[in-house]
Amino acid sequence: MTERQKVLLTEVALRDGSHALSHQYTVQQVEKIAKGLNEAKVPYIEVAHGDGLAGSSLQYGRSKTNEFELIEAAVAVTDFSKVAVLLIPGIGTVKELKQAQQLGAKMARIATHVTEADVSAQHIYAAKELGMETVGFLMMSHMAEPEKIVEQAKLMESYGADIVYVVDSAGALLPNQVTTRIKAMKETIGVEIGFHAHNNLSLAMANTLAAIEAGATRIDGSVRCLGAGAGNTQTEVLVGVLDRMGIETGVDFYKMMDLAENVVAPILPVPQEITKNSLVLGYAGVYSSFALHAQRAAEKFNLDARDILIELGNRKVVGGQEDMIVDVAAELAKVKTFV
């Protein structure tokens, strides 16, 4: 009897899903969701502001609850699942990473733009010194060719990353593009490979399966599809699909469905679906968390949010440049006035 293929899942609803809730998670909500994920035997649960540790700000969005209280709450109700945190160098620092580790976080996911892995060195080194499982997280991976991604993944591996992720932050990749990126990494780096999808083009599941087929063994999902833009690969659906394929996750399918239906669905302000704005995120290749910011700017300047997102895509604006959204909207409004 051959051994079943295995993948390890990281649940991102308590971090990426923070975008969809305008970073308004409460301790009680995090406790309830983390407890359900722990009971369903999800290996890792990511908890942080949507833009990672120290992300609560006017630029990225103020959190309702201090993220360290949320991390502490998740750790307190998990005895199987390990709590992970995301850190984007330039937003979060080693200080916040140490604080998260002291509260019980076991995994650090260090995220950079796909061509800027060199800025992760200090934080990957620090995470390893703290005894944390460490992930290199290459965001906006649609903006680099496979050869460049391999170069950047090698850097993260050299700093000590245990896993390196291809991250489709804009939900812009097509399945064949995922395959070429994961295969190129599989052939050249010696650590595990992960994949993080967004569903803006309705391809999160297809892209995730393409990644697994090409060699990824670490996969992100979000219960009830709760994430930025149109959300991420839907965890409970992914668990069922992988089981049908004979791929082992160790996650309880029924408990994930119940958690999605009974706990997560009631807290969603609106159902996670592909709206015109989230569709344009994927089409234009724009960071998924920009959707709400663009909508607010569109209302302020009496514009169509899609026009703002398309222009941001044309300018190749990336995560961390949220201030550009208002600047672009103001420029478009000025042009509109003179037409």
Interval 236-260 mean pLDDT: 98
- Which of 105-119, 230-244, 248-262, 309-323 is the least confident region? 309-323
The pLDDT value recorded for residue 45 is: 98
Residue 167 has pLDDT above 90, yes or no: yes
Q: What are 54-71's pLDDT values in tens digits?
A: 999 888 889 999 999 999
Contact 50, 60 (CB under 8 A): yes
Which one is the CATH code of 5-267: 3.40.50.2000, 1.20.1090.10, 3.30.470.20, 3.20.20.70? 3.20.20.70
Contact by Cβ (8 Å): 187, 149: no
Domain at 289-338: CATH architecture: Orthogonal Bundle (1.10)
Give residue 2's pLDDT: 54
Active site residue 49: no
* pLDDT tens by residue, 276-313: 999 999 999 998 888 888 888 999 999 999 999 999 99
Say how far apart CA 199 and CA 221 lie, in whole Å: 11
CB 117 within 8 A of CB 149: no
159 is in an annotated binding site: no
For 192-202, what is the mean pLDDT?
Answer: 98
Tell me: pLDDT of 78 over 80.
yes
Residue 130 has pLDDT above 80, yes or no: yes
Report the pLDDT value the prediction gives residue 321, as an integer from 0 to 100.
79
The whole-chain average pLDDT of the chain stands at 95
Task: Tell me if 243 is assigned to a ligand binding site.
Answer: no
Query: What is the rounded distance in angstroms from the CA atom of residue 187 to the CA atom of residue 11?
Result: 27
- Determine if residue 16 is labeled as part of a ligand binding site: yes
Is 51 annotated for ligand binding?
Answer: no
Domains 5-267 and 289-338 share a fold: no
> Model confidence at 121, in pLDDT bands (50, 70, 90)?
very high
Provide the whole-model pTM.
0.94
Percent of the chain with pLDDT over 70: 98
287 is in an annotated binding site: yes
Cα–Cα distance measured from residue 277 to residue 267, given in angstroms and rounded to the nearest whole number: 22
Whether 157 shows a pLDDT value over 70: the answer reads yes
Which parts of the chain are beta strand (E)? 5-6, 8-11, 44-46, 82-87, 107-113, 133-139, 163-167, 192-196, 218-221, 247-248
- What pLDDT was estimated at residue 69? 98
Domain assignments of the chain as residue spans, ordered by start: 5-267, 289-338
Instruction: State the DSSP string of 85-137.
Output: EEE-BTTB-HHHHHHHHHTT--EEEEEEETT-GGGGHHHHHHHHHTT-EEEEE
Q: Which comes out higher in pLDDT, residue 339 or 241? A: 241
The least confident of 7-21, 50-64, 95-109, 199-213 is: 50-64
Kindly calculate the radius of gyration of the chain based on its CA atoms and give it in whole angstroms: 19
Q: Which of 19, 49, 113, 142 is catalytic?
A: 19
Structure confidence at residue 47 (pLDDT): 98
Is 113 annotated as belonging to a binding site?
Answer: no
Q: How confident is the model at residue 1, as a pLDDT?
A: 44
